[in-house]
Chains A and B, each alone.
Chain A
Amino acid sequence: MTDRKLGALMFAPAVLFILLLIGAPFVLAVLYAFSDVRIGSTGFHFVGLENFRSILQSPSFRQALQNSIVFTIGAETIVIVCSNILSIALEKPFLGRGFVRFLILLPWVAPVSLGTIGWKWILDSIYSVITWVLVALHFYKPYGAPMWLGEPHLAMASVILVHCWRLIPFSTVIMLAGRSAIPKEIPEAASIDGAGFWRTLFQINIPMMTPIISIAVLFGIIFTFTDMTVVFILTAGGPFDSTQTLPSLAFATGVQGSDLAAGAAISLFLVPVLVAVAYMMLRVAHRAEVV
């Protein structure tokens, strides 16, 4: 058998599996979006753009689309700034670095749903530790503090906070990897030539790290934009849809509301972002000459 044939044979099962469980469902999702499938009925009729028309008119959808964008951009901006700072602080070895790294990484490596439950307790309407501290410092009278997850703007801020909390560790380790790949001689030469910390940072380190920063940002965008776990557990989209995102609305409509067709149509709105991110990632990989 030639190598090429054997290669195709060894490769085929995995590709088949991926096509059946990723490719086929994706095609189904598109078909569903143009149909009237519901949980509990076997009918399947094409209804054209009907689902999209009703979705685009629904205030919940518009709110969800807007929230998804706000959450993603908001969280990602904070994540990039913080993880850059943290990766600088973590770069040089020090006693106990391994343990500090483990603590810092916990939010990323522990299951998301469980970490989010921890936040739900921290942000509890009555027993919140944040409330207790603010009351103890006399910022609020007892029982006078706001409910963190009960008021639209605070709930939105909480969702962003939890996303940041989860993604800062991930972004930090990626940037650490990028930082350690910069040849030590370059920043050293710059400092001998009289460049200060900021100049080295902005004119040498950050430009050299652009590919790696883009990778961190692209993954971060995907992880935030397509995530429904944080929102589902923390607020379930409430209060009044104020924290609803596209994925959580798709779940509420398609699974909890039995309207598979509308749910599929909503989740298809994730695709443009995914395609854009995939394209950017290919460009970064291409510049790094792996393709």
Chain B
Amino acid sequence: MPRGALAKIGAVLLRVFVLVVFTVLLAFPFFWMVIASFKKNLDLYTVENNPFLFNMPPTLDNLRLLFGETQFVRWLANTALVGLIVVVITLLLALPAAYALARLTGRWGERLGIAIFLTYLIPPTLLFIPLSRVVAVLGLQDTIWSVVLVYPSMTIPFSIWLLMSFFKSIPKELEDAAMVDGLTRFGAFIRMVVPISISGILTVVIFSFTLVTQEFVYALTFISPESNQMVGVGIPIFLVRGDVYYWGSLMAACLVASLPIAFFYNLFLDRFIAGFTVGAVK
């Protein structure tokens, strides 16, 4: 065999090796959640048992406990409700703002756009202490309305940024023609630009919703009653009873809550990445 072909086979094998190693390492915790979700407690907690095998027949008890005897479903519902409201608030504020920055404010708008993008970098861990006071003063403590109020501050900046570049890709002639036909500038925005921006809007919807499900610090700080929790806090804090972890149910909960979010985020990932790269990729 010629040397070139051998080197090629070597390169392919190396690539396969790298991919397999990383995929296994990165996906392992989720694989491990699947295994634990369906194992009997006695099987989980017998140190001598090979943890990779089902030493006893699989069981649905963990799922039954999770859905029947914990507030898991309630947390999912809280999260979905907060997610929906936050998405609506985000769209109402970010759509006009992004359009204004893309079309109406000229060069000045581009700078402001960057400034808004930078506020996305401000982390919850910097603001959660004063915001906990603000939330308490407004009487929103311990309710989901506390996070409904605060989460848009995390979703709006990046959404404006995403929508801004989306609007810039729409030809200006579209609105010009509509305005010649008698629509006002704002009318043209509502009737012409918004309807053809569905895919940009969908990106913002998915981004905002997933951010709500992923957030931890604010929800942990503002809400303490078990029944008002968001799913990302309820699972780690309340499925742990005393010092006993219900590992089977805990892992099932993580899996059930993660996979749908992961799936949708993955669908729109390339667009989020285009936003994250701040124009460093052309």
Cβ A109 vs Cβ B122 within 8 A:
no
Do B32 and A127 touch across chains, with their CB atoms under 8 A apart? no
Tell me the complex Cα distance, A118–B251, Å.
Answer: 7
Q: Closest chain B residue to A37 by CB distance?
A: B133
Q: Judging by beta carbons under 8 Å apart, are A18 and B280 in contact?
A: no
Give bound CA distance, A105 to B22, whole Å. Answer: 11
Question: How large, as a class, is the contact surface on chain A?
Answer: 35 or more
Q: Which of B25, B129, B157, B213 has the most CB of A within 10 A?
A: B129
Total CB contacts across the A-B interface at under 8 A: 305
What chain A residues lie within 8 Å of B97 (beta carbons)? Answer: 10-11, 13-15
B149 proximity list for chain A (CB < 8 A): 21
With beta carbons under 8 angstroms apart, the residue of A90, A100, A113 that contacts B216 is A113
State whether A127 and B160 are in contact (beta carbons under 8 Å apart), knowing that A222-B121, A263-B129 are contacts in the complex: no
* Contact indicator A260/B129 (Cβ below 8 Å): yes
Taking a contact as CB atoms under 8 Å apart, the answer to whether B282 and A181 are in contact is: yes
Kindly state whether residue A56 has any CB partner on chain B within 8 Å. no
In this assembly, does B64 line the interface, its C-beta being within 8 Å of a C-beta of chain A? no
Given A11-B105, A122-B29, A263-B129, A114-B277 contact (CB < 8 Å): no
A209-251 contact mask (Cβ, 8 Å, vs B): 1 or 0: 0011011000100100011110011000000000000110011
Contacts of A263 in B (CB 8 A): 129
Cβ B157 vs Cβ A114 within 8 A: no
Query: B residues within 8 A CB of A32?
Result: 129-130
Is residue B261 contacting chain A, with contact meaning CB distance below 8 A? yes
Question: Is the Cβ of A118 less than 8 Å from the Cβ of B133?
Answer: no
Docked pose: A229 CA to B214 CA in angstroms: 10
**Are A14 and B160 closer than 8 Å at their CB atoms?**
yes
Whether A215 lies near B277 (C-beta < 8 A) is yes
Contacts known (A17-B152, A22-B122, A85-B18); A177 close to B104, Cβ less than 8 A: no
Q: Does A29 contact B (CB under 8 A)?
A: yes
Give the contact stretch, choosing among A57-65, A152-160, A274-282.
Answer: A274-282
Bound Cα distance from A233 to B250, whole angstroms: 13
Q: Does B42 contact A (CB under 8 A)?
A: no
A154 to B245, CA, bound (A): 22
Interface of A is mostly: helix
> What's the minimum C-beta distance from B237 to chain A, rounded to whole angstroms?
9
B180 within 8 A of A: no
Instruction: Say which size band chain B's interface belongs to.
Output: 35 or more
Asked if A192 CB lies within 8 Å of chain B CBs, one says no
Residues 1-15 of A, flagged 1 when their CB comes within 8 A of B and 0 if not, give 101101111110111
Interface string of A151-178 (1 = CB under 8 A from B): 0000000000000010011000110011
Interface 1/0 per residue, A24-54 and B, CB below 8 Å: 1110110010000100000000000000000
Q: Is A204 located at the chain interface by the 8 A CB criterion?
A: no
Find B273's partner among A8, A177, A255 (CB 8 Å cutoff).
A177
Query: Which residues of chain B are near A28, meaning CB under 8 Å?
Result: 130, 133-134
CB distance from A19 to the nearest CB of B (A): 10
**What residues make up the interface of A, taking CB atoms closer than 8 Å to B?**
1, 3-4, 6-11, 13-15, 17-18, 21-22, 24-26, 28-29, 32, 37, 82, 85-86, 88-90, 100-107, 109-119, 121-122, 124, 126-127, 129, 132, 136, 142-143, 165, 168-169, 173-174, 177-178, 181, 211-212, 214-215, 219, 222, 226-229, 232-233, 246-247, 250-251, 254-255, 260, 263-264, 267-268, 270-271, 274, 277-278, 281-282, 284-285, 288-291
Closest 8 CB pairs of A and B: A7-B104, A28-B130, A118-B29, A226-B123, A10-B96, A247-B125, A110-B258, A14-B97
Given A25-B127, A114-B235, output 8 extra A-B contacts at Cβ < 8 Å: A3-B185, A10-B186, A14-B97, A32-B130, A117-B254, A118-B30, A121-B245, A222-B121
